[in-house]
Amino acid sequence: MIGTLLHYLEYPFVRYALVVGVLIALCSSLLGVTLVLKRYSFIGNGLSSVAFGAMTVATVLDMTNEMTLVLPVTVLCAVLLLSAGQRAALKGDAAVAMVSVGALAFGYMLMNIFSTSSNLSADVCSTLFGSTSILTLTIREVVLCIVLSVAVVAAFVLFYHKIFAVTFDESFAQATGTNARAYNLVIAVIVAVIIVLAMNLVGSLLISALVIFPALSAMRVHKTFLSVTICSAILSVACALAGLLVSILGGTPVGSTIVAVNAVAFGIFSLIGRLKGGVSRG
């Protein structure tokens, strides 16, 4: 098996896939805690549907670089969904659900009307569940992914304490002079970039799993914000690596394999948490 693996690693597209997979996993786990605690677990689905809708529009318009449309549209939607949070007429999950199914329906319709491809359902399936396109990345896409990942990680580190303050107690932060609204915007933008990045890896339907599973697992065992954040980052990278390797060796679909590994990790962490809790209580 090791031999097969080394053999595969000689191909650049396999190495690209591993690099991109690890980076995406790292980024997507960072804001998991914040999103779970702000009751926005499903934001990933909403935004990736938006990205899907934007992508179909870009395809119909025959744009050469789809990102120039997809990224701004997704960022805009993230800002609207996250920042209008408390005061909007539509509360959190309802708004997310509405945007999500709306954009999905719209995108699918566009694809149906304008599609030139002969195999429409395969196209749709791959956008929803993650394509094998992670294995066909060009060097340009890899570079773009690296640049965006570095930006996301840097922004997260620089805003770490502010994100904590705004997530833990938004009204206290606002009352004592932190510009909570601005930092909610920062969070929204980071989330949008992560979603657009991660869509390639696991697809629209599975993206929430990548965002929230590592955070939820880490929260079973760890009790402070810092340790949860670090643990979920490491866990997410490990699960992505394991999932990628399994899917390369076993020929399983990339996205669902990674999510399955995350689900198993969640089970293990829950068990550890239960055991630890039992010991410290008893």
Partner 1 sequence: MALLTVQDLTLGYEGRTLVSHLNFSLEEGDYLCIVGENGSGKSTLMRTILGLQPPVSGQVLFREGLKSSHVGYLPQQTPIQRDFPASVEEIVRSGFQGRCGLRPFYDREEKAMARENMERMGVLDLRDRCYRELSGGQQQRVLLARALCAARKVLLLDEPVSGLDPKATGEMYDLLEGLNREGLALIMISHDIGAALTYASHILHLGQQVFFGTREAYQNSAVGRRFVEREGDSL
Question: Could you tell me the two tokens for 44?
Answer: 């990933």
Q: Which of 134, 114, 119, 118 is nearest to 206 (CA)?
A: 134
Q: What is the token pair recorded at 33? A: 């805690």
CB nearer to partner 1: pick between 30 and 111: 30
Among 91, 120, 122, 168, binds partner 1 (CB under 8 A): 168
The only residue of 174, 234, 242, 270 in contact with partner 1, by rule CB under 8 A:
174
Sole binder of partner 1 in the list 101, 175, 249, 271 (CB under 8 A): 175
26 versus 170: smaller Cβ distance to partner 1: 170
Cβ pair 124, 111 in contact under 8 A:
yes
CA pair distance 144, 157, nearest whole angstrom: 20
How far apart CA 240 and CA 243 sit, in angstroms, is 5
Choose the stretch contacting partner 1; rule: CB under 8 A; options: 67-75, 125-133, 170-178, 267-275.
170-178
Among 7, 91, 161, 181, binds partner 1 (CB under 8 A): 161
Cα 202 from chain centroid (whole Å): 9
Q: Which residues within the stretch 6-35 sit at the binding site for partner 1 (CB under 8 A)?
A: 33
Residue 176 binds partner 1 (CB under 8 A): yes
Asked if 105 interacts with partner 1 (CB under 8 A), we say no
CA-CA distances (angstroms) from residue 232 to 88, 100, 105, 135, 226? Answer: 31, 26, 33, 25, 10
Residue 114 contacts partner 1 per CB under 8 A = no
Alpha-carbon span 212 to 29, nearest angstrom: 7
Nearest residue (CB) to partner 1, 33 versus 191: 33
User: Is 143 one of the binding residues for partner 1 (CB under 8 A)?
Assistant: no
Catalog residues that contact partner 1 under the rule CB under 8 A.
33, 37, 39, 157-162, 164-165, 167-178, 219, 222-228
